[in-house]
């Protein structure tokens, strides 16, 4: 299918609108009337849904997520319901979570850490990850969860850029990925290893230059008073990928919790008695904003599943835990579709009442499949690392146009803009005209900067607008439709991958002269990472060399970032200024017209 | 297909997907995704490659049976 044909398929009218009727909704949605809620919305009202630190000492994410519930009627409610890979369960009530996060906050202070110090977490979805992030926020450290499937190189880049002072990880991950890069990280003063069981604790206690989690925590008091926290104090650091250069560290502040909370309430429709499951890993922003913070600030039970996607396991979790609100991703939904309705037959999923999806545009077929499989459509929504929370969404009460990302949250003003040559932008008012998606700056969870990159941060704005880098259009009813990325960033299984990071790792191999990396469309992952490499003199293309390069990239980058396909190419097309033309590589890969080649220095053919 | 043929086939496919790993050291009952750092796309490619090489139909419902080396070998020998 050509690009224009696939674009056509996303246009309104190609799939019938899914009309919501009041009777069908069951529980009244928090956002009952979109237009009315939007007209009445004020951010200080949303701020008023939170408690603030006692005595007017400010606003702290962890207080809103944990402490305020632990001292009220929700104290004995399950805050985290963790399901381990082997099926083991661990439950933390809000009261338990308060004690554990207090202990970790005390541990950080005992190690001399405090305001502004970066605490990184590198682990699978284990309870200690959640405790560490929330405990760090209490101690006013900056919390940064890293994806455990990253290889040593992406980890080193991020730990260096973020000036990590303490890292919580597991013994296995430490040995495999961190020990080798530790000498490059002089600022990393402490590494805390989480081990399993008594024997594990002893073994981990033997790893040089590390602390053992259980030993560290055992010595701490379960009481902690969160220090005064200004809403603008730094809280979270999330890394995202750009087209060129190193990853960007987006800084978020404690005030972001206002957005986390209200979007959980409106876009995910969280009600007091909900059992919520967000399948994202906290190593990505969704897994932090909606896998940790929003469900807890809303006081619901947050289900955490350690295992990676497996349809039978997931359906089992939905049934057994009586999950009512489920936030997942297109890749997983498409894998479930492949499995078919048959696989669902023996499960009772009647507790599910709201389905949402994020990470990349959800194709209309998948939206509709939700109705066949679960009795209701998947509700796609849109946001990115920089926005900190959901910005555009399909709501429980609002008709769904399959393929559309929905309409902006109350309090969020979105627009389609055209960039002018002088850097200014002009709004496009006409419906269904493609342009860049922009958001009026100033919502609480907007990033406050890219770490150490003031210039890159400033370039993300034009006048009052934050420019998202996503191309989109708006229809006459105000629904937004994703068109594509404005840059070369790759979106694979909902994760942004910077081609430059992959190219750099490939170039480190002695055989590689140059590398160009693109996102190749894939029916399941959206895109997969594909690399084109040209070889240095003395090397010839072979299957053995292809495997060697693939192994090299996987070792350095980890499975999620490394290419899935590598092609040899005699020379890569470059612009006159020497930049590899990824767009042209992509056009060739897809058999599309190559467009204007006049800026090319050398054509590979 | 005898056991040795099945093992060689599975190991060859795996080392095409995760060439950095020493697949000969893989224990029969280890979770392949964990042991070889396979993401969900890698696992899907693993199953697809087994299908292409053996012409065996592998319905999605059977994927969990391929989660370990022993499991994959037994599956190919059915």
Q: Is A600 helix (H, G, I), strand (E, B) or coil?
A: strand
Nearest CA in chain A to B36: A559
Interface test with A, best of B12, B39, B46 (most A CBs within 10 A): B39
DSSP secondary structure letter of residue A596: -
For A305, phi then psi, to 5°, come to -115, 120
Between β-strands A190-194 and A164-170, what pairing exists: parallel, antiparallel or unpaired? parallel
Identity of the residue in A308, A551, A554 whose CB atom sits nearest the CB atom of B40: A308
Nearest CA in chain A to B59: A339
Cα(A276)–Cα(A301) distance, integer angstroms: 6
A558 touches B: beta carbon within 8 Å = yes
Residues of A in contact with B33 (CB under 8 A): 308
A508 touches B: beta carbon within 8 Å = no
Q: Is A558 close to B37, i.e. CB distance below 8 A?
A: yes
Interface test with B, best of A308, A313, A566 (most B CBs within 10 A): A308
C-alpha dist (Å) from residue A158 to A82, A119, A275 = 28, 12, 33
- Entry field: residues in chain B: 78
Residues of B in contact with A339 (CB under 8 A): 60-61
Identity of the residue in B19, B40, B63 whose CB atom sits nearest the CB atom of A550: B19
For A566-599, letters b (16+ CB in 10 Å) and e give: bebbeebbbeeeeebbbebbbbbbeeeeeeeeee
C-beta separation of A197 from A86 below 8 A: no
Which tokens go with A168? 């919580």
A29 touches B: beta carbon within 8 Å = no
Q: Is B33 close to A331, i.e. CB distance below 8 A?
A: no
Q: Is B37 close to A331, i.e. CB distance below 8 A?
A: no
Q: Is B39 close to A560, i.e. CB distance below 8 A?
A: yes
Among the listed residues A303, A131, A287, A120, the one whose alpha carbon sits nearest the alpha carbon of residue A224: A131
Nearest CA in chain B to A342: B61
Identity of the residue in B19, B41, B63 whose CB atom sits nearest the CB atom of A564: B41
CA distance B10 to chain A (A): 16
A175 touches B: beta carbon within 8 Å = no
Cα(A325)–Cα(A489) distance, integer angstroms: 31
B interface residues, A as partner, C-beta within 8 Å: 15-16, 18-21, 33, 37-42, 44-45, 60-61, 63-64
Q: What is the pLDDT of residue A272?
A: 96
DSSP secondary structure letter of residue A477: T
Residues 6+ apart with CB under 8 A from A87: none
Q: Is A309 close to B37, i.e. CB distance below 8 A?
A: no
A358 touches B: beta carbon within 8 Å = no
Confidence of residue B34 (pLDDT cuts 50, 70, 90): confident
Q: Is B19 close to A554, i.e. CB distance below 8 A?
A: yes
Query: Which residues sit opposite A481 in a β-bridge?
Result: A473
CA distance B59 to chain A (A): 8
Q: Is A559 close to B63, i.e. CB distance below 8 A?
A: no
For A387, phi then psi, to 5°, come to -85, -15
Residues 6+ apart with CB under 8 A from A57: A226, A227, A228, A229
For B28-65, letters b (16+ CB in 10 Å) and e give: eeebbbebbbbbbbbbbbbbebbeeeeeeebebeebee
What's this model's pTM, rounded to 2 decimal places? 0.87
Q: What is the pLDDT of residue A350?
A: 94
Residues of B in contact with A547 (CB under 8 A): 15-16, 19
Q: Is A122 helix (H, G, I), strand (E, B) or coil?
A: strand
Q: Is B60 close to A338, i.e. CB distance below 8 A?
A: yes
Identity of the residue in A312, A331, A552 whose CB atom sits nearest the CB atom of B40: A331
Low-confidence ranges of chain A (pLDDT < 50): 1-9, 597-605
Q: What is the pLDDT of residue A595?
A: 57
DSSP secondary structure letter of residue A570: S
Cα(A285)–Cα(A146) distance, integer angstroms: 10
Residues 6+ apart with CB under 8 A from A259: A46, A388, A389, A443, A444, A445
Q: What ipTM was assigned to the predicted interfaces of this complex?
A: 0.86
Q: Which superfamily does A11-16+28-34+47-470 belong to?
A: ANL, N-terminal domain (3.40.50.12780)
Q: Where in chain A is the domain with CATH 3.40.50.12780?
A: 11-16+28-34+47-470
Interface test with B, best of A172, A310, A344, A559 (most B CBs within 10 A): A559
Query: Which residues sit opposite A276 in a β-bridge?
Result: A302, A325
CA B52 to chain centre: 13
Identity of the residue in A312, A558, A564 whose CB atom sits nearest the CB atom of B64: A312
Burial class of residue A418 in the structure, from the number of CB atoms within 10 Å of its CB (0-12 exposed, 13-18 middle, 19+ buried): middle
Q: What is the pLDDT of residue A187?
A: 97
CA distance B2 to chain A (A): 27
Which tokens go with A435? 């342009």
Q: Is B39 close to A559, i.e. CB distance below 8 A?
A: yes
Between β-strands A248-253 and A449-450, what pairing exists: parallel, antiparallel or unpaired? antiparallel
Residues of B in contact with A342 (CB under 8 A): 61
Q: Is B39 close to A149, i.e. CB distance below 8 A?
A: yes
Among the listed residues A306, A289, A308, A307, the one whose alpha carbon sits nearest the alpha carbon of residue A298: A289
Q: Is A263 helix (H, G, I), strand (E, B) or coil?
A: helix
Identity of the residue in A309, A340, A554 whose CB atom sits nearest the CB atom of B40: A309
Identity of the residue in B20, B40, B64 whose CB atom sits nearest the CB atom of A493: B40
**Region A490-590: CATH code:** 3.30.300.30
Which tokens go with B72? 């994959």
Among the listed residues A279, A347, A330, A318, the one whose alpha carbon sits nearest the alpha carbon of residue A523: A330
Q: Is B61 close to A342, i.e. CB distance below 8 A?
A: yes
Q: Where in chain A is the domain with CATH 3.30.300.30?
A: 490-590
Residues of A in contact with B38 (CB under 8 A): 559
Which tokens go with A359? 């990470």
Q: Is B20 close to A552, i.e. CB distance below 8 A?
A: yes
Q: Is A551 close to B18, i.e. CB distance below 8 A?
A: yes
CB atoms under 10 Å from CB of A128, counted, come to 21
Which tokens go with A73? 């009627």
A548 touches B: beta carbon within 8 Å = yes
C-alpha dist (Å) from residue A166 to A179, A489, B58 = 14, 30, 46
Nearest CA in chain A to B12: A547
Interface test with A, best of B41, B48, B65, B66 (most A CBs within 10 A): B41
Residues 6+ apart with CB under 8 A from A140: A60, A114, A115, A116, A226, A227, A229, A233
At CA A147, angle to CA A143 and CA A148, rounded to 5? 115
Burial class of residue A5 in the structure, from the number of CB atoms within 10 Å of its CB (0-12 exposed, 13-18 middle, 19+ buried): exposed
Q: What is the pLDDT of residue B69?
A: 96
Q: List the end-to-end C-alpha distance of chain A, in Å, as a whole number.
A: 25
Q: What is the pLDDT of residue A8?
A: 42
């Amino acid at each position: 299918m050509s690009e224009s044909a696939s674009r056509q398929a996303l246009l309104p009218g190609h799939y019938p609108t899914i009309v919501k009727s009041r009777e069908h909704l069951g529980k009244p949605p928090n956002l009952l009337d979109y237009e009315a809620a939007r007209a009445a919305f004020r951010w200080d009202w949303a701020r008023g849904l939170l408690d603030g630190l006692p005595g007017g000492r400010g606003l702290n994410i962890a207080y809103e997520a944990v402490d305020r519930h632990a001292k009220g009627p929700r104290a004995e409610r399950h805050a985290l319901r963790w399901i381990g890979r082997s099926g083991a369960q661990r439950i933390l009530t809000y009261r338990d979570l308060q004690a554990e996060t207090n202990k970790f906050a005390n541990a950080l202070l005992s190690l001399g850490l405090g305001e502004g110090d970066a605490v990184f977490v590198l682990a699978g979805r284990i309870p200690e990850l959640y405790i560490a992030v929330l405990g760090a926020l209490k101690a006013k450290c900056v919390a940064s969860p890293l994806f455990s499937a990253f290889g040593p190189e992406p980890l080193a880049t991020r730990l260096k850029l973020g000036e990590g002072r303490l890292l919580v990880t597991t013994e296995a991950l430490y040995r495999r990925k961190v020990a080798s890069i530790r000498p490059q990280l002089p600022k990393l003063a402490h590494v805390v290893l989480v081990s399993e069981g008594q024997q594990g604790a002893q073994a981990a206690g033997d790893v040089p230059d590390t602390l053992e989690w259980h030993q560290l925590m055992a010595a701490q008091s379960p009481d902690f008073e969160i220090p005064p926290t200004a809403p603008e104090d730094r809280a979270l650091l999330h890394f995202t990928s750009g087209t060129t250069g190193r990853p960007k560290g987006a800084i978020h502040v404690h005030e972001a919790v206002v957005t986390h909370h209200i979007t959980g309430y409106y876009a995910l429709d969280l009600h007091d008695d909900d059992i919520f499951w967000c399948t994202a890993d906290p190593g990505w922003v969704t897994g932090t904003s909606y896998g940790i913070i929003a469900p807890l600030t809303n006081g619901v039970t947050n289900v955490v599943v350690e295992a990676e996607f497996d349809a039978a396991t997931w359906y089992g979790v939905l049934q057994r835990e009586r999950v009512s609100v489920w936030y997942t991703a297109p890749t997983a939904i498409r894998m479930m579709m492949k499995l078919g309705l048959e696989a669902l037959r023996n499960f009772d999923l009647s507790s599910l009442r709201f389905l949402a999806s994020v990470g990349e545009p959800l194709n209309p077929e998948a939206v509709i499949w939700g109705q066949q499989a679960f009795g209701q459509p998947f509700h796609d929504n849109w946001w990115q690392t920089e926005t900190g929370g959901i910005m555009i969404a399909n709501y429980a009460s609002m008709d769904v146009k399959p393929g559309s990302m929905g309409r902006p949250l109350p309090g969020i003003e979105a627009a389609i803009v055209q960039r002018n040559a002088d850097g200014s932008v002009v709004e496009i008012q006409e419906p269904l005209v493609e342009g860049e998606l922009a958001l009026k700056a100033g919502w609480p969870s907007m990033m406050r900067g890219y770490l150490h990159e003031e210039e890159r941060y400033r370039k993300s704005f034009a006048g009052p607008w934050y420019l998202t880098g996503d191309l989109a259009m708006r229809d006459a009813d105000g629904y937004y439709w994703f068109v594509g990325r404005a840059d070369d960033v790759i979106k694979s299984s909902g994760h942004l991958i910077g081609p430059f990071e992959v190219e750099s790792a490939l170039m480190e191999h002695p055989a590689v002269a140059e590398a160009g990396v693109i996102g190749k469309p894939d029916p399941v992952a959206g895109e997969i990472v594909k690399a084109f490499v040209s070889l240095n003199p003395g090397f010839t293309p072979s299957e053995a060399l292809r495997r060697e390069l693939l192994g090299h990239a996987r070792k350095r980058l980890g499975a999620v970032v490394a290419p899935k396909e590598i092609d040899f190419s005699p020379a890569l097309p470059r612009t006159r200024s020497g930049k590899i033309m990824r767009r042209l590589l992509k056009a060739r890969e897809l058999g599309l017209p190559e467009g204007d080649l006049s800026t090319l220095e050398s054509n590979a053919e | 297909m005898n056991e040795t043929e099945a093992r060689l086939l599975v190991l060859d496919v795996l080392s095409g997907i995760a060439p950095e790993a020493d697949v000969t050291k893989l224990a029969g009952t280890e979770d392949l995704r964990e042991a070889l750092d396979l993401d969900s796309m890698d696992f899907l490619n693993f199953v697809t490659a087994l299908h292409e090489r053996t012409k065996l139909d592998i319905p999605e419902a059977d994927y969990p049976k391929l989660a370990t080396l022993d499991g994959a070998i037994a599956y190919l020998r059915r």
